[in-house]
Amino acid sequence: MRRRFRRAAVVVTAGFLGWYLVFVGLAAFARGFMARTIAGNVNVALLLGLLQFVSTFALTLGYLAYARRRLDPLAGELR
């Protein structure tokens, strides 16, 4: 169980922290790329920012489902 939780924790942490730092790095150092227009007034920066929201929600739901399916039953057994 410890291993399972750790694996999940490492995956989620690496996922959100890595992706967030990439985003922050882009915002600091790749201004040209971030300024590219996608459609109308929407540019890459705005789209990536919104994707941070989407990925946060997705990771939350993913972790909740994983915890319910894979961690809770184990915890119940161990108790």
- Rule CB under 8 A: which of 29-58 touch other proteins? 29, 31, 34-35, 39-43, 45-46, 49, 52-53, 56-57
Q: Residue holding tokens 């971030």?
A: 34
Tell me: does residue 17 bind other proteins (CB under 8 A): yes
- The answer to whether 1 and 70 are in contact (CB under 8 A) is no
Amino acid at position 52, single letter: Q
Identify the H or E element spanning 71: none
- The answer to whether 12 and 59 are in contact (CB under 8 A) is yes
Identify the H or E element spanning 37: strand 37-39
Least gap, CB of 57 to other proteins (angstroms): 6
Residue ranges binding other proteins (CB under 8 A): 1-2, 5-6, 9, 12-13, 16-17, 20-21, 23-25, 27-29, 31, 34-35, 39-43, 45-46, 49, 52-53, 56-57, 59-60, 63-64, 67, 71-72, 74-76, 78-79
